[in-house]
Amino acid sequence: MNRQELQALAGKAKGKHEQFKHKICVCCGASCISSGSEEVLKKLQEEIKTRGLENEVEVIPSGCMGPCNQGPLMKYLPEQTIYQKVDCNNITAIVQSQLIEKKPIEELLLFADSREKPFVNSNEDPFFKRQMKIALKDCGDINPENIEDYLAAGGYRALEKAFFLLSPEEVIAEVKQSRMRGRGGAGYPTGLKWETVYKYVSDQKYVICNGDEGDPGAFMDRSVLEGNPHRVLEGMVIAGYAVGSSKGYAYIRGEYPLAIKRFELAIKQATKLGLLGKNILGSNFSFDIEVRIGAGAFVCGEETALIASIEGKRGTPRPRPPFPAEAGLWGKPTLINNVETFAGIAPIITNGGEWYSETGTPKSAGTKVFALAGKIKYSGLIEVPMGTTLREIVFDIGGGVQNGGDFKAAQTGGPSGGCIPAEHLDVKMDYESLISLGSIMGSGGLIIMDKSSDMVDVARYFMEFCMDESCGKCVPCRVGTKMMHDLLQKICDNKGTQIDLDRLEELAVYVKETSLCGLGASAPNPLLSTLRHFRKEYENRIMNHQ
Amino acid sequence: MKSDTAILSKELPKTDPRVKLIAAKMKKENYKPDALIEILHTAQNAYGYLPKEVLAYITKSLHLPPSRVFSTVTFYHFFSLKSKGEHTCIVCTGTACYVKGAQAILNRLEQKYSLKPGQVTPDNKLGIQVARCIGACGLAPAVVIDNDVQGKANAEEIIETINAKTGII
Ligand SMILES: Cc1cc2nc3c(=O)[nH]c(=O)nc-3n(C[C@H](O)[C@H](O)[C@H](O)COP(=O)(O)O)c2cc1C
Ligand code: SF4
Ligand code: FES
């Protein structure tokens, strides 16, 4: 396919959608599927058929819409009306009321059981109103298993623009200007990384998409891969063009079978249309992507370990430098970015780097996807501008703590991060502010805790995680995490002493400073941050054994 | 236990569909050593775990030292050298599930079936495992029974489902 044919196909796909007066999306993300959305979808399709409305109403199995614990979710467009906890037995009534009589059934609307008055237009609901969707745009509105849906929504236009209107240098310049930072955790400037890889001369370079998402309690990458796989794929191809690579790998967690299936399907569809493979769209550029399935090791999210794993070996990290940008997969220059990072590329190319940089804070541009979970009223997937406060996320979007409880702490950054206490609820969620509180942004997992959480046990929990997941290559991490875990266990068992606590703090510094990779270097973070903000709880355990 | 050389030289039945599946995968990957993990995934999916004979077969076909294969298998949680049971119950102990009481569910299941995570009942009917996070955190606590994710899990309901599937009372 060439450029004109692509445009024609996109136009046709768009026309096809516009024929329909109504669209109904049924969320078929993994969470809603487990709540029974596939049966809802089937029942709805039957209902539409029985009523002879097939030419008026389009039924779309879509990706994640956000409020995952209210699933199965069903959304009516253009009204943006969302129904929650949809039961197969209600479908006839909903279709009759919503479509035919144009009267939404209020008691079945999203958040009807918890808001005084639910919103007919979900965009006006505080859960959505405060959000800004860039990486998640289209996720929840299109069928992720149909490339034409993506094309109709403007998909692959960024790729076309990059190939035909921009040089690789200009693509990199746009990404630099966007000031986007990597969403995998460390927040390294994406444009700078691309430029570094671009500058190395080599017969072969690689692009890797990090979809290992090992942080327990995080599901952003999963939702993006399941809800809009073509967006990630498009970002990878653009990256390949920019840095001069013809081969990409997507490393996806084995625990995410649906994400793997949908991404593989996306590759197949894109290849068939000539958006992957040789001479893409008639340009001189060729690019292929292969999927690699993770086998369950947290450390494989670390870039050098991930590369070892793609090479078929034990996923153990190696010292850097050399960084993957210089010597990565099979010793060749390798660009490695997170799923969400790639998902942000197409909008940057389409709208320009400057447009992206206008959102967020001076040092953290753009938006961030968070997976909101734990003791929160409305858990789910959200995307907000960088710099949104924790309070806005927890109380305005998330509806506050579950069952009207008191907020105690928010955990960010998973086993590498820390806990933010109530007195810092007004912290801006950006890279620097979180670090100043002893936590990190991490990949976007945000777990809310109420007073039922014992912070010493939280520290022990994460230390146990790091101890189990330590690859064992270097002593500070292998032995240090075990020693710290045992001390924490002792304190949890009310057998700890002040000496144990001093010892813990001392060990934390050693492990932090001398571990080979980020796993060990950040393993003490949950301990240090709970000590910083909740020291009283440790002392209570030691002095008063409670 | 059989000596390793005996295992290494043992031939697998070529007509076994599972063996055919692995053979086809190795051929597709051109017997490249870097495809080892992909091939192990295929084998694990076919058998439910990785029997020693199968590992020996892969080792020989890819011309790898047994230590390389063994060390890779034992590194990754997903691969198992023992059967995981005819039916499996995986309790997520990731952060969101931990905060929402996964440990209590696990304790109840351990007590009910006298199993610790990683163990299988003597009749091989049921195995209990833990997971780091299955990405259904919005529905925490989450439990997976034979590939079906159960959100907002409750120990007694899980026990009912398990009993119905396994015939254990
Ligand atoms: C222990 C450890 C685990 C990591 N896990 C992930 C992960 O699951 N996903 C991810 O994208 N990055 C992870 N990273 C960060 C990667 O090493 C790497 O920085 C990132 O993929 C780069 O992409 P970005 O620049 O787009 O953020 C991890 C790092 C460490 C040290
Ligand atoms: S810090 Fe831990 S995970 Fe990293 S290389 Fe050392 S032992 Fe392995
Ligand atoms: S923490 Fe249990 S599903 Fe994520």
Interval B128-145: pLDDT, tens? 999 999 989 999 999 999
Q: What are phi and psi of A53, to 5 degrees?
A: -105, 15
A55 φ, ψ to 5°? -90, -5
Distance from the Cα of residue A467 to its chain's centroid:
25
Q: What is the mean pLDDT of residues A312-327?
A: 95
- Please give the average per-residue pLDDT across A333-348, as a whole number: 98
- The CATH class for the domain spanning A367-450 reads alpha beta
* Bond preceding residue A362 cis, omega within 30 of 0: no
Q: Is B118 on the interface with A (CB under 8 A)?
A: no
Interface test with B, best of A27, A39, A219 (most B CBs within 10 A): A219
Mean pLDDT value across residues A335-360: 97
Atom of ligand 1 nearest to the CA of A518: 31
Nearest CA in chain A to B75: A314
pLDDT one-digit tens code per residue, A19-74 = 999 999 999 999 999 999 999 999 999 999 999 999 999 999 999 999 999 989 99
Rounded Cα gap, residues A511 and A411, in angstroms: 21
User: At B6, is the pLDDT very low, low, confident or very high (cuts 50, 70, 90)?
Assistant: low
Chains A and B form CB pairs within 8 A to the count of 137
**B64 near A CB under 8 A:** no
**Which of A91, A60, A83, A73 lies closest to A34 in space, CA to CA?**
A73
Q: How far is the CA of B145 from the centre of ligand 3 (A)?
A: 15
To the nearest whole Å, the CA of B152 is away from the closest chain A CA by: 9
**How is chain A split into domains, by residue range?**
18-121, 155-356, 367-450, 455-545
Cβ-proximal residues to A227 (8 Å cutoff; 6+ apart), any chain: A29, A62, A63, A64, A136, A139, A140, A144
Query: Which pLDDT value is given to residue A369?
Result: 97
Span A160-219, pLDDT tens digits: 999 999 999 999 999 999 999 999 988 999 999 999 999 999 999 999 999 999 899 999
Residue pLDDT, tens place only, A367-390? 999 999 999 999 999 999 999 999
Whether the pLDDT of residue A344 is over 70: the answer is yes
Which chain A residues are closer than 8 Å to B76 by Cβ?
295-297, 315
Task: Verify cis geometry, omega within 30 degrees of 0, for the bond prior to B141.
Answer: yes
Interface confidence: ipTM more than 0.85:
yes
Length of chain A: 546
User: Confidence class of residue B15 from pLDDT cuts 50, 70 and 90?
Assistant: confident
pLDDT at B11 over 80: no
Contact list, A312 vs chain B (CB under 8 Å): 32-38, 72
Residue A299's pLDDT band, with cuts at 50, 70 and 90, is: very high
Mean pLDDT of B50-77: 95
Q: Which residues of A454-487 are buried (b: 16+ CB within 10 A; e: fewer)?
A: bbbbbbbbbbbbbbebbbebbebbbebbbbbbeb
Classify domain A18-121 by CATH number.
3.40.30.10
User: Across-strand partners of A74?
Assistant: A26, A83
The domain ranges of chain B are 9-75, 87-166
Q: What are phi and psi of A226, to 5 degrees?
A: -80, -35
Do A178 and A357 contact (CB within 8 A), yes or no?
A: yes
Cα–Cα distances in angstroms (integers) from residue B138 to residues A32, A375, A383, in the given order: 10, 10, 15
The answer to whether A265 touches A375, Cβ cutoff 8 Å, is no
Which of A340-344, A503-507, B131-135 shows the lowest mean pLDDT across its residues? B131-135
- Bridge partners (DSSP) listed for residue A292: A251
Q: Does B69 touch chain A (CB under 8 A)?
A: no
Q: H-helix or E-strand containing B39?
A: helix B36-47
Task: Output the CA B116–ligand 2 centroid distance in Å.
Answer: 27
Tell me the C-alpha distance between A295 and A251, whole Å: 10
CATH number assigned to the domain with residue range B87-166, chosen from the 4 options 3.40.50.2000, 3.30.70.1060, 3.40.50.300, 3.40.30.10: 3.40.30.10
Supply the pLDDT for residue A406: 96
Residues above pLDDT 70, as percent of chain B: 93
Structure confidence at residue B8 (pLDDT): 60
**pLDDT tens sequence across A66-102:** 999 998 999 999 999 999 999 999 999 999 999 999 9
How many CA atoms does the CB half-sphere of B22 hold within 13 Å? 29
Query: What number does CATH give the domain A455-545?
Result: 1.20.1440.230
Ligand 1 pocket residues where CB is under 6 Å: A 182-186, 188, 210, 212-214, 299, 301-303, 336-338, 341, 443, 517-519
pLDDT confidence band for B3 (50 / 70 / 90): low
Q: What is the pLDDT, as a whole number, of residue A261? A: 97
If you average pLDDT over residues A272-287, what whole number do you get?
A: 95
Cα–chain center distance at A78: 27
CA-CA distance, A336 to A306, in Å (whole number)?
10
Stretch A105-118: mean pLDDT: 94
The ligand minimizing its distance to the Cα of A521 is 2
pLDDT tens by residue, A401-425: 999 999 999 999 999 999 999 999 9
pLDDT at B1: 45
- Residue A216, preceding peptide bond in cis (omega within 30° of 0): no
Instruction: Work out the mean pLDDT of chain A and round it to a whole number.
Output: 96
Asked if the Cβ–Cβ distance from A69 to B152 is below 8 Å, we say yes
pTM of the model: 0.95
Fold of A155-356: Rossmann fold (3.40.50)
What backbone torsions phi and psi does residue B25 show, to the nearest 5 degrees?
Answer: -65, -45
Across chain B, what does the average pLDDT equal?
91
